[in-house]
Structures are given as C-alpha cells and as structure tokens.
A and B are shown apart, each in its own frame.
Chain A
C-alpha cells in the first residue's frame, strides 16, 4: 500500500477550510496579491497580547505554551494540522510509506529558505530530529518508535520506525515543538532569543519582559503575510489586557478572564470567539489507596457529582461536558453518556462496596483556580456520603511533586493540545504509563492501547480507541469532566484569524484594515 499526498489536494483543502471558517471575509491565502498598500499605515502592525512571557524561544527545549504562541509563526514542521486538525503538507510536499509500514520517505518542498537566506535541506530535517533524539529532549517520546532519521539526498528524508506508526504525522507535526531548526543557530546559542526558522515571520526584536517583534518573511513558501509586523506583548492580568484591547492599544489577546466572557459577548468594540478545544479537564482517584482502588467507589463518585455545576462554576458555561477525553468535533470522538447526577445510584454503589465514609485528600493548585473551585463543589456534594474532602491548595511546582510521588486521594488537572488518540490515552492509562499517576491497570485496555499504536487501518484504529476509552471511563481511571473553550478576542478591524481547537496562534493569514 502506498500513500501519496500531493500539494494540490492540500491547497484545495486549505481554501475550503478557510472559506468555511467564521471570519470568512477577505482572507489572504498568501498568493501575494493581497493589497497591503491600500491599508492605513497603522495596519502594518498587529499587536497581540499573550498571557505571559515565553521562557525561551528554542522550540525543542521550551515546553511553555506562551513560547509556542510566538513560535507558531516563526517555524514550520514537515506537516501541520489544518483547521480541522487533519495533517497537511508543510515543509514536506509529499510522503510515501513502504509496504511493510516501516519506512517513511518525505519529499521536501523546493525553494524553501531559512530567515537568514540559507536553503532548507534534508540535512536540516535530519539534524533537527536527531538533536531531539540524541539529547533526549522533552519531545523525544514522540520518536519512541523511530529507529533512524537520515537525509537521503538534498530534498528527501527517510524515517525508519521499529513498528507501524500510523500516528507518525501527528507526532512530527502536532505542534511547533517538532520544528525544523537551523544547526548553526542552535550551535551559536542564539536560538534561545533569536530563533531562525522558515515560517511566515522572523524574529526582529526580543525585549525581555516586554515584547517580541516579528517581521513578515517576504519569501515565505506559503506567500508573504499581509501584516508586516506582529508584536507580541505579555499581559498576564486579564483585566489589563481587556482594557488595552478596548483602548486600541492591542489588536488581539487570549488573556481573557472567563468571568467576563458573558458581558463581553454583546460588546461591538471587540470580536470575541469562544471555540471548543481539544483540551480536557478530569479528576483522578488514587487506585493504590483504599477505598479508591474499588471500582464501585470510583463509579459511585462519578454518579455523586454534578458535572454541570462544576462546568458552570469553572468555565462560566464556556466549556463542553464530555464523559470521555476527545471532544465532539474530532474525527476520533466516541459517544459515551454512562454517568449522570444520580445520588441514589451513588449511594447504592457505595453500599455495595461496603463504603461507610473516608477523608479525601484533594490536591488543588492556586495556579489553576478551577481545581480549587471544583474541590469546594466536591466537598459539598460528597459530604452526604460520609466523604470529608480536605482540599490541599499548593503552588503548581509543589503540586507536581505530590502528584508524582502519589501523595493524594484525588486530583484535578487538564491535558492540552492532544491530537491523536494515542496522545489522549496511552501515557495516562497504560499499566505503568509515564503519566498514569492514579495507578490504573487493566490488561484489556493495555492490549487495546498497544494495538492502537500499530493499527494502520483508520476505521479499525478508531474502533480500538473507542473500546479502550469506554473501558477507561467505565472503570473511572479518569473521571472526565469537560473540554474547555479556546477564548480569544480581537479588534473588529482584524480579519483572517480564527480561534483554533489546538490553540495554535497563526497570524500568517491575518489582515488589518
């Protein structure tokens, strides 16, 4: 079987997707014909306020979302997710998979250059991936099945995998943490503050603590962006950011207090977008401790809590309830509505388990206030069953320590930016999985998750994950709560931007005026 994707098909797909997106008017498709000269002078700069400062700009080192909000516009990956999160060609124009599924051959786009003018070659791709693998950088888990990455010739890269890896495209293109970097930029150390990529914008200035200025890359392979300059400012206080947006000091922000969403909805002075995301919030109970190791107790808790109350209190109604991880808009979504707010059923399950009462050590963190709010709701709702919820509010660094050492009865946290079902379920629920802090173990689920990793037939793979996810939720390995929204606001003068489900901030198609 050979899979070949051609650039023409993708361009068409991109046009269709963009035409279908909400901010449809005057979208610049990067064909170079957009008339930036007729716009007023002030439209040359787009000022975007993000909620914090990137820790650094080396895409292979940083793990901060703030960094990737900037880097999304600076770097490219071989493939990248489109608006519906399907992988499309980016630096790779096409790819072939060998019949045994173990060799992926990528053909690079011709004529792509880095911001310093040097041409992109297969060596750059091999260097980037091997850097991640050899230095065991934070994203090296994405190459777990990869045996080698080699440059066959100037424009051909070969990736050999140890087992069929149907999600390889999502692994190498899911976000800009898998960017293709320039070796000399890495070796000089400049990459931390002055990264050189192939993306639509290049970094022009970085003033620590204040702003990062990007300049349009006239040679961008997707066509020069319409907006000449993008300035990222760091405004962590949501009230300050909203004031700045209304005053016209900034043009775009995602630093928005969720409490204000309702009052901002009718405000004509800004465009507010609340879009579903692929992130999800969940509760996990410690299965290495009694009584939470009893599946009936965990199920009883699942029936005892009012998810809608938690959703309203934490997201002010902007999120979407979901009893599994993957949101409804994803192609991997599975219908599942087992649980409901049912005190009688909860009591029955507690009784069946012989449960009469317990204290519950609930890990919350002030860095994510929704965890504190939820803890308070749980304390109230679980009290009638004899559960004394004791909320421990820690800063996130300490919280991670406690989670890692298994020192909790229950915690609440979210997972962000996952695309492939393997991202959603494997590390979290596989026996001994790296992030299976709750200690869940079900051999059937393990077998399904293992099979999902290598199943190349999409429909069969979807079925495997549907089964695994259903068992995971039946067993309450995670007690899934909701998918939060991506909330962004921008000036009505700004078009060609949209709130993406994966949270990627792309300004390459933005138009001011």
Chain B
C-alpha cells in the first residue's frame, strides 16, 4: 500500500488532486462573494412584472435567501461537497440535473471544435514553418492573424449566412444527440463547431508554427539530418514530436477555454449547452445555477489541465511526473 502511494504517478496525482480541491474551494468563495456584490435581486426578477410584498417575502424565504450570508455559504459548501449543488431558483430543478442535461451538448461542441482547430493548426502550422519565408507562409500568417481577430459568434453568423441561408446546405440551429442520430448530429454540429474551431485553429496555428520553427533550429535536428535520416523521419519524429509539447499546453488551455467560453456561439446557434444555461442564469441572478455552472467549468478546466500534464509523459518520455 505504502509502495503504491510512493509510486511517482500516484503521488503526482494525489498532489494535483489536493491542489485542485484548494482551487475549487477558492472558486466557490470567489463566486459566492461576487454574486453578493453584484447588484440585481433574484427574487424580484423571478416574480416578474407584478407582485405583492407578501409574495416577495414568501419566495425569499422559500429560496433560503432570508438566512444570514454565512449560513447560506456554509450550507452551500457542505452540500456541494456531497455533490448537491442545490435547486435552481428559476426552474425549481436540481442544479446537478440541469448541468448534466446540458453537458453532452457543450462537450461535443468543444471536442469537435478543438479537433477542427487542431487539424487546421497542425497541417497549416507545420506546413508554414517548414516553408518559412515563402509566399504560402505569409498567407498563413495573415490568415491566422485574421482568424484570431474574428469573434467566434461573428464567425457563426457568417457561416449561417453562407451555408444555411444562402446555399441551404446545413441547418442553422438546433442540436441532435449523437446517440439519437449520428448523421443529423454531424449535420447540426458542423457549423457551430467550425465557428469555434476556425478561431481556435487560427490561434493554435501560430503556436504550432513558432514551436516548429524553434525546434527546427535545434542542434539535435541538425544532427539528425546530418546522420542521413530521411526527411520524413526528421520532420515527424524529431521536429513535430518535440514541437508538440508546448502546443499541447496551449491546446489544453484552448479546449478548456472553449468549454467555458462558448456562451455566445451557443446562443447564436440555439445550442442547448452550458453556455446557454449560464447566460440565462446570470441574467436572472439564479445563484445556485451560476455557482454550479462555474464550479463545473472549473472542474473541467482542472481536469483538462491534469490530462494535458499526463499526456506530456506520453509525448516526451524525458518529462518525469515528479
């Protein structure tokens, strides 16, 4: 047992998990405090245009907002630890249930988006780096600068206008679960995932290009070339594999950013994901739902980063988990 705990992988994991728990606690404290500081009364919004003082007090009490702040916080903290994120003020449904309903849509959008982004970035970035200074490199650099500057929601509107409104090739909105109908899932996900992926791809292309350029100038690449290894072996085994390490970090962060940041794209495509949910939750000051969504996004962010750190070892055996 002791030996297992001392295993570098286990030790690394437990240290990282402990670290993550501290971060999550911090997230809870910050979100809870921020919500108290932000103006806007969830009770008044929930009650709508017309109500009486009695209705106000009744709902406030039913929502638990009449309790002292510290009591609210510790009861929330206590429940969160057991996985109970409370009940949404507005929908009356458990927050955990709402989040789990929405997670698949956001995960699939972010995954397909980052895959599109990575494919573009790897192909175009490596190509541009290996052809540094040529016209095609310049074109790539200009195009990626362009892509970085475009907001993803605007890209979404552009894609709808071209592929849906003009050529009627793809649906403009909606979501079909992969398990329900893979073909329709693909048709519906192409446009929103492209909106996300093209922008992510532009960002990643720049990293891939500069990472590859850096590796190309390394002495071991020169050595490999002078040993007479084939161009293919040098490119993929020596250059790309080494260049992937920094790219992986950025891709991980980019993926996590997409997970937490596709709000506007989801709104544009009426995509039933977390973004759409949190957008409404913030507008209506649905505290439990906002807290729960932020917590989930934080958990995913930490998980992706942990995964990326572990992938390092696969890509680069020199990196020891200790």
Contact = CB atoms under 8 A, between A and B. Distances in A.
Interface stretch (A89-97, A203-211, A287-295, A442-450): A203-211
Contacts of B58: 135-137
A85 to B, nearest CB: 18
Interface string B170-201: 01111100000000000000000000000000
Interface residues of B, number: 52
Nearest to B286: A55
A243 B160 contact: yes
Interface string A59-71: 0010110000000
Size class of A's contact patch?
Answer: 35 or more
Contacts of A247: 164-165, 168, 171-172
A442 to B, nearest CB: 21
Contacts of A394: 39
B173 A244 contact: yes
B174 A233 contact: yes
B90 A235 contact: no
Nearest to A136: B58
B91 A192 contact: yes
Interface stretch (B45-53, B298-306, B310-318): B45-53
A435 B161 CA distance: 43
Contacts of A141: 50-52, 55
Given A397-B41, A401-B40, A367 B283 contact: yes
Interface string A414-438: 0110000000000100000011000
B221 to A, nearest CB: 49
B169 to A, nearest CB: 10
B241 to A, nearest CB: 40
B164 A136 contact: no
Contact of A396 (B42, B45, B157): B45
Which residue, B38, B49, B93, has most C-beta atoms of chain A within 10 A? B49
Contacts of B39: 394, 397-398, 401-402
B32 interface: no
B172 A140 contact: no
A138 B62 CA distance: 13
A416 B50 CA distance: 10
A462 B101 CA distance: 51
B272 A209 contact: yes
B158 to A, nearest CB: 11
Contacts of B18: none
A209 B102 contact: yes
Given A63-B48, A138-B48, A208-B98, A240 B92 contact: no
Given A192-B92, A247-B171, A396-B45, A209 B285 contact: no
B154 to A, nearest CB: 12
B105 A427 contact: no
Contact of A240 (B57, B173, B285): B173
Contact of A53 (B42, B49, B173, B280): B280
A386 interface: no
A205 to B, nearest CB: 12
Nearest to A134: B58
Interface in A223-275: 233-237, 239-241, 243-244, 246-247, 249
Contact of A210 (B40, B168, B175): B175
A137 B47 CA distance: 8
Contacts of B173: 233, 235, 237, 240-241, 244, 249
A185 to B, nearest CB: 13
Given A233-B174, A239-B160, A240-B160, A140 B55 contact: yes
A233 B50 contact: no
Contacts of B277: 208-209
B269 interface: yes
A58 interface: yes
Contacts of A313: none
B139 to A, nearest CB: 31
A136 B54 contact: yes
A39 to B, nearest CB: 24
Interface of A: 52-53, 55-56, 58, 61, 63-64, 135-138, 140-141, 144, 189, 192-193, 207-211, 233-237, 239-241, 243-244, 246-247, 249, 367, 394-398, 400-402, 404, 415-416, 427, 434-435
6 contacts: A140-B52, A192-B93, A208-B98, A237-B173, A240-B172, A240-B269
Closest 6 CB pairs of A and B: A209-B272, A63-B48, A397-B40, A136-B58, A55-B90, A210-B272
Given A398-B39, A398-B40, 20 more contacts: A138-B50, A193-B93, A208-B98, A208-B272, A208-B277, A209-B175, A237-B270, A240-B269, A243-B172, A247-B168, A247-B172, A249-B174, A395-B283, A397-B40, A400-B40, A400-B44, A404-B41, A404-B44, A427-B50, A434-B53
